[in-house]
């Protein structure tokens, strides 16, 4: 054949091939290897099943293919620049117990490409067909948009990616591993002279056993006094422990004093004898996170000793046993008995009280606890009397197994056992702080009416940043319920050595130092109970510094107990709350809006970026000049500030400030 003809034929073929449509490939979401990269704040998204393991079902229709998750769930994919589109369905799974509202979103390179709008249980799945051309990374997000964040199951159904040629869709970490950062201590070293750290108010009921201490840091030995104590109370001058009982209701102004060889400190407080106890959030320790079912008399005694020495001077008071303390059978008369890990509950309580510490215990309103130990159903008054006789000061009452006996899942039926236990505690004649525990939906709506002093607002926390951030982010929903004696509990703080209680070996928290500062700061602004779950025998200097910053604690213990307010800004969130002295506590938190760094490289640690936040005093209701104070460092940064100013915040870190009007100084 003529060479020119061959060349012409080859050119024609090349031209046709160049103009031919590229081949397409379909990749199903449920077939993508996730490498465990999908992130949500309890459990993991489940392939071809709902998040609780049932068949995928939305709006009464069952589906074979998809991924079941819950709000807030995040799945991030690298498209390699070859994706054409993603299509499928999304909707709330029919396993939702309540009319939870969810929203499904598809985010491409940080920009919203599609959103479902608000969806509720029973809604039919919504279809989507999203153009992905030019998109490098795409995020599938199930978002919360309601005042419920416990029962919030959502499904991605029959999701298919279309790519060109050999294009792949690769799951990548939503939260890349951060470069290791050494712990750094901001809390100033404690001085030798006394500094009193009591909250400004303390509540007790008339006639009840009274136990409070002058809690002061400084060199020991120390002597104490309390001028103006109401009739019935006395103070031990060598320990600072105030005991007795007050018969008459009223507000009693008392001046506390602490002295040692290095100096003296005094402060005025108000003892309120009335109907409300726990006027500021409780501060203490609970056994679950590091002991699970293996807590014991000896562990609680050793923990009490350590807390008394190192933390009690800063306000830490409660030491509690969580699930697993009870014997498997009640006694013949129906009394709940401790198991073999415990010698004598009354003796243990007396030991704690001798140091000014308080004893907490655990139960549930159903037949069994979460750990399948005997609970209080049908024995409420007996158990309350038993605990009062033992000297218990705090009850955590988880919503475990009550669904076995309640008539329905209405709010009234769920609340009823908590009302019953409240009545039982009242009849027992002892001040027992009452936590309406884990699992009761929308508990912040009715927890106070049921007589709770605090209530668990979320599922259990773990020391993963996505869990801590997700739990913290949701608290603005329930924040308006905050008031003296009424607190939202976002679960224990995960600082120090944790694990053991979660089925994982004991280990230093996985949170970075910056994340730990954020964690403690947010719980402080939220007026959340400060409950520790770490092994106190492994308490290190950095963790101790997190827990003994008197100004951070003062934000948490502020007697106004103002609800915290969240402002979402470009680089994260600003939380703030007014304080009783007219100032405002402000926290600038470097939180990723979707927990995603869009320019990350798969599998590699990243140099994480600081962000600038603009703080405007007027946004917090402050007019005129203010003094700006760094709360963690306990030092003023600037005075006579009347205009917006910038602060720099490390990745996943915080800048915790106090803005005080000049006229209030």
Same domain, 602 and 573: yes
User: What gap in Å lies between CA 507 and CA 1, rounded to an integer?
Assistant: 78
Domain stop point among 534, 562, 590? 562
Same domain, 550 and 659: no
Assigned token pair, 527: 């007026």
**pLDDT computed for residue 12 by the predictor:** 45
In a domain, 111, yes or no: yes
**pLDDT computed for residue 6 by the predictor:** 45
**DSSP codes of every residue in 110-178:** TEEEEE---EETTPPPEEEEEE-TT-SEEEEEEEE-SS--SS-EEEEEEEEEEEETT---EEE-SSPPB
Average pLDDT of 80-87? 95
- Could you confirm whether 398 is annotated as catalytic? yes
Q: Tell me how many domains the chain contains.
A: 4
Q: What is the pLDDT of residues 226-257, one digit of tens each?
A: 999 999 999 999 999 999 999 999 999 999 99
- Could you confirm whether 265 is annotated as catalytic? no
Same domain, 215 and 330: no
Burial class (CB in 10 A: 0-12, 13-18, 19+), 492: buried
Q: What is the pLDDT of residues 251-290, one digit of tens each?
A: 999 999 999 999 999 999 999 999 999 999 999 999 999 9
Domain stop point among 273, 291, 311? 273
**pLDDT computed for residue 600 by the predictor:** 56
CATH number at residue 88: 2.60.120.1060
In a domain, 495, yes or no: yes
**pLDDT computed for residue 145 by the predictor:** 66
Average pLDDT of 455-473? 88
In a domain, 305, yes or no: yes
User: What gap in Å lies between CA 3 and CA 18, rounded to an integer?
Assistant: 23
Assigned token pair, 521: 């700061």
CATH number at residue 634: 2.60.40.1180
**pLDDT computed for residue 271 by the predictor:** 98
Lowest mean pLDDT among 9-23, 268-282, 444-458, 572-586: 9-23
- What counts of helices (H) and strands (E) characterise the chain? 11, 42
The CA distances from residue 111 to 48, 69, 135, 593, 598, in Å, are 28, 22, 10, 11, 11
Set 155, 398, 491, 558: catalytic member: 398
CATH number at residue 267: 2.60.40.10
Same domain, 321 and 264: no
User: What gap in Å lies between CA 251 and CA 228, rounded to an integer?
Assistant: 11
Query: What are the start-end ranges of the H helices in 248-365?
Result: 288-291, 297-310, 345-354
In a domain, 488, yes or no: yes
In a domain, 143, yes or no: yes
Same domain, 296 and 263: no
**pLDDT computed for residue 149 by the predictor:** 58
Domain stop point among 562, 586, 618? 562
pLDDT category at 412 given cuts 50, 70, 90 is confident
Same domain, 528 and 611: no
Same domain, 408 and 488: yes
Same domain, 544 and 603: no
Cis peptide before 221 (omega within 30 of 0): yes
In a domain, 399, yes or no: yes
Same domain, 575 and 558: no
Domain that holds residue 653: 567-664
pLDDT category at 99 given cuts 50, 70, 90 is low
Same domain, 238 and 287: no
Same domain, 490 and 535: yes
Contact of 386 with 411, CB cutoff 8 Å: no
User: What gap in Å lies between CA 49 and CA 51, rounded to an integer?
Assistant: 7
Same domain, 476 and 388: yes
In a domain, 6, yes or no: no
Q: What is the pLDDT of residues 568-592, one digit of tens each?
A: 998 799 999 999 999 999 999 998 7
In a domain, 60, yes or no: yes
Lowest mean pLDDT among 240-249, 381-390, 435-444, 539-548: 435-444
The CA distances from residue 132 to 20, 158, 172, 325, in Å, are 21, 17, 17, 55
Average pLDDT, the chain: 91
Set 265, 383, 393, 460: catalytic member: 460
């Amino acid at each position: 054949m003529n060479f020119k003809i061959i060349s012409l034929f080859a050119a024609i073929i090349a031209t046709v091939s160049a103009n031919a449509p590229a081949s397409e490939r379909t990749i199903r979401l449920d077939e993508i290897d996730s490498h465990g990269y999908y992130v949500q704040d309890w459990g993991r998204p489940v392939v071809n099943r709902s998040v609780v393991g049932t068949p995928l079902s939305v709006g009464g229709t069952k589906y074979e293919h998809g991924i079941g998750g819950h709000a807030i769930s995040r799945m991030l994919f690298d498209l390699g620049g070859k994706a054409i589109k993603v299509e499928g369905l999304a909707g709330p799974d029919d396993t939702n117990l309540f009319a939870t509202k969810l929203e499904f979103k598809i985010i491409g390179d940080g920009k919203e490409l599609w959103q479902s709008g608000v969806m509720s249980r029973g809604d039919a799945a919504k279809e989507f067909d999203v153009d992905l051309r030019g998109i490098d990374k795409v995020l599938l997000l199930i978002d919360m948009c309601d005042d419920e964040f416990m029962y919030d199951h959502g499904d991605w159904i029959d999701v298919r990616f279309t790519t060109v040629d050999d294009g792949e869709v690769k799951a990548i970490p939503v939260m890349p591993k951060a470069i290791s950062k050494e712990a750094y201590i901001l809390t100033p070293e404690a001085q030798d002279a006394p500094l009193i750290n009591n909250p400004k108010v303390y509540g007790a009921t008339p006639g009840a056993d009274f136990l409070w201490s002058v809690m002061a840091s400084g060199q020991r030995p120390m002597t104490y006094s309390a001028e103006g104590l109401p009739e019935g109370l006395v103070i031990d001058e060598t320990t600072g422990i105030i005991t007795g009982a007050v018969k008459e209701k009223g507000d009693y102004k008392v001046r506390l004093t602490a002295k040692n060889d290095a100096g003296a400190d005094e402060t005025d407080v108000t003892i309120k004898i009335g109907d409300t106890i726990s006027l500021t959030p409780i501060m203490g320790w609970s056994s679950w996170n590091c002991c699970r079912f293996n807590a014991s008399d000896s562990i609680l005694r050793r923990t009490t000793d350590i807390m008394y020495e190192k933390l009690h001077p800063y306000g830490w008071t409660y030491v509690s046993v969580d699930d697993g303390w009870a014997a498997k059978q009640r006694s013949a008369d129906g009394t709940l008995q401790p198991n073999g890990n415990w010698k004598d509950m009354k003796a243990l309580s007396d030991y704690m009280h001798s140091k000014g510490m308080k004893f907490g215990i655990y139960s549930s309103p159903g037949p069994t606890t979460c750990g399948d130990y005997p609970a209080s159903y049908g024995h409420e008054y007996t158990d309350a009397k038993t605990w009062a006789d033992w000297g218990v000061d705090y009850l955590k009452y988880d919503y475990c197994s009550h669904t076995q006996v309640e008539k329905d899942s209405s709010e009234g039926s769920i609340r009823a056992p908590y009302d019953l236990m409240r009545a039982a505690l009242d009849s027992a004649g002892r001040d027992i702080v009452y936590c309406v525990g884990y699992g009761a939906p929308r508990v912040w709506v009715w927890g106070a009416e049921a007589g709770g002093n605090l209530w668990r607002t979320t599922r259990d926390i773990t020391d993963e940043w996505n869990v801590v951030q997700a739990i913290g982010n949701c608290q603005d929903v329930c924040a308006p319920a905050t008031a003296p004696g009424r607190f939202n509990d976002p679960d224990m703080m995960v600082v120090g050595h944790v694990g053991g209680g979660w089925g994982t070996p004991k280990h230093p928290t996985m949170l970075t130092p910056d994340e730990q500062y954020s964690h403690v700061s947010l719980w402080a602004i939220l007026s959340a109970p400060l409950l520790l779950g770490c092994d106190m025998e492994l308490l290190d200097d950095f963790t101790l510094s997190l827990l003994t910053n008197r100004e951070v604690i003062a934000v948490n213990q502020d007697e106004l107990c103002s609800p915290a307010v969240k402002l979402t800004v470009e680089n994260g969130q600003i939380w703030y709350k007014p304080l009783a002295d007219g100032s405002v506590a402000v926290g600038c938190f470097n939180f990723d809006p979707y927990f995603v760094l869009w320019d990350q490289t798969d599998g590699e640690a990243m140099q994480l970026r600081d962000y600038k936040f603009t703080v405007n005093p007027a946004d917090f209701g402050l007019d005129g000049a203010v003094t700006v104070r760094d709360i963690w460092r306990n030092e003023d940064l600037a005075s006579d500030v009347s205009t917006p100013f910038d602060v720099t915040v490390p990745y996943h870190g915080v800048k915790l400030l106090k803005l005080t009007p000049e006229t209030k100084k």
